[in-house]
Amino acid sequence: MKTAYRAMQISSPGSLELVERPVPQPGHGEVLIEVEACGICGADASDIEGADPGLRPPRVPGHEVVGRIVAVGAGVASIWKTGQRVGVGRLAGHCNECVQCRRGHFELCQNQPSVGVGWDGGYAEMMLARGTGLVSIPDELASEEAAPILCAGLATFNALKKSAAQAGDTVVVLGIGGLGHMALQYARKMGFRVVAVGRGSDIAEDALALGAHHYIDTHQQDAAAKLQTMGGAQVILTTIGHAETVASLMKGLAPQGRLVVLGVGKDPLPVSRGHLVGGERSVLGSLTGTPYDNERTLDFSVLAGVRPLIETMPLEQANEAYQRMKSGQVKFRMVLTMDRSGKPA
């Protein structure tokens, strides 16, 4: 095994630097992963820009990680073996002791760090991971395509399941980006009548190709009014954080329709209480999910032929890849790969 590995750490808020670190040994309940691919998520921006400059060593971001186990610490469940290909998502691994864990709500564990924030992530050749946070990766998925499913895929797949929509219902996806392009595929494969809502006509062709039956351009139409002419939406899945845009689209919900919120923002979401009460409508927040949920998402992706559309760059170009993601130019997910050819052991 190597004695050192390369990592892109946050040298200062907003800046990444390539460093070498000594290879660690996994502690109790941990495994050591040799990383093969790591997706760059929109949430990485808050991790990188808002990093603690006093943290020593500096944090390594990245929470869409796929690699192989190279060492197993004491106390790890026997289902995890050396050489096995695994993934790690946003949630680093539950404690199995808090009230939420005892209730089986592992995604709400009160002692679970977030990967890339309270736990070093996958912008690196090696990564420590809690055994309780591991996800088994199907053989049918390449590491580069599996990585974004661990976050963008899981978040949207789980949200659609929680929405209580039935086959044939009208489901709206607001925001056709890294999350939205996965939501459109899942919604179509689940048998919904899929409506994509976005800004501008340039994304229309992509939205329809990804599974939307209809595309509504908010620059050209009143999206809520258009939805009402279609009978209203049973579900609006919003992947954006702009509260005013989300609130305006809620008028397009059918009676007993549900707004499912994925896009995180700091502004409060203005909601008409009369609109909610009068039509028995509701608002639901949806987190990512447990490792088991993640495995269900991966399996469904294989079964239904759902794949993220990705661009790849090597680890040492993480700064460039990160800036490209922030610019919104990526269609639709950026993934870092680990090229070990010619690297000394």
User: How far is residue 313's CA from residue 62's CA, in Å, rounded to a whole number?
Assistant: 14
Please state, in angstroms and rounded to a whole number, the distance separating the CA atoms of residues 58 and 338. 20
CA nearest to 249, candidates 203, 204, 281, 206:
281
CA distances from 130 to 101, 144, 324, 337, 344 (A): 15, 22, 30, 22, 28
Q: Are residues 133 and 183 in the same domain?
A: no
Q: Is residue 107 part of a domain?
A: yes
- Global pTM value: 0.94
DSSP 110: T
Residue 28's Cβ-count burial label (10 Å; 0-12, 13-18, 19+) is exposed
Within-domain flag for 106: yes
For the segment 307-320, the average pLDDT, to the nearest whole number, is: 97
Q: Is residue 124 part of a domain?
A: yes
> What's at 219, amino acid-wise?
H
Task: For 270-288, write each residue's pLDDT tens digit.
Answer: 998 999 999 999 999 999 9
Token readout for 1 is 């095994």
Euclidean distance between CA atoms 160 and 158, whole angstroms: 5
Examine the domain organization and report whether 19 and 130 are in the same domain.
yes
Residues 57 and 125 in one domain: yes
319 lies in the same domain as 246? no
Q: What order of strands is seen across the sheet that includes strand 233-238?
A: 214-217, 193-198, 170-174, 233-238, 253-261, 282-285
**Rounded-to-10 torsion of CA 163, 109, 294, 206:** 50
* Mean model confidence pLDDT for the chain: 94
Residue 145 lies in a domain: no
Indicate if 166 and 120 belong to the same structural domain.
Answer: no
Q: What is the pLDDT of residue 103?
A: 97
Q: What is the per-residue DSSP string for 131-148?
A: GGGEEEPPTTS-HHHHHH
Is residue 219 in a domain? Answer: yes
In a shared domain, residues 264 and 167: yes
Q: Does the structure show a pLDDT above 50 at 342?
A: no
Whether residue 292 lies inside any domain: the answer is: no
Which positions ≥6 away from 82 have C-beta within 8 Å?
69, 70, 71, 72
Q: Check whether residue 126 and residue 23 sit in a common domain.
A: yes
Cβ atoms within 10 A of the Cβ of 191, count?
13
The span from the CA of 58 to the CA of 325, in Å, is: 22
Least confident of 226-240, 297-311, 326-340: 326-340
Residues 220 and 274 grouped into a single domain: yes
Tally of residues, the chain: 345
In this structure, are 115 and 51 located in the same domain?
A: yes
Q: 208 and 129 share a domain?
A: no
pLDDT tens digits, residue range 30-55?
Answer: 999 999 999 999 999 999 998 888 78
* CATH number where 313 lies: 3.90.180.10
CB atoms inside a 10 Å sphere around CB 109: 22
User: 79 lies in which domain range?
Assistant: 4-137+309-337
Q: CB–CB of 237/160 below 8 Å?
A: yes
CATH of the domain at 163: 3.40.50.720
Burial class (CB in 10 A: 0-12, 13-18, 19+), 340: middle
In a domain, 146, yes or no: no
Residue 298 domain-assigned? Answer: no
Q: Are 121 and 190 part of one and the same domain?
A: no
pLDDT single digits (tens) 182-241: 999 999 999 999 999 999 999 999 999 999 999 999 999 999 999 999 999 999 999 998
Specify whether 50 is located in the same domain as 124.
yes
**pLDDT one-digit tens code per residue, 90-113:** 999 999 999 999 999 999 999 999
User: Which two three-digit tokens encode residue 239?
Assistant: 């992947």
Q: How many domains does the chain have?
A: 2
d(CA 287, CA 231): 29
Would the pLDDT of 341 be above 80? no
Which of 120-129, 259-268, 334-343 has the weakest average pLDDT? 334-343
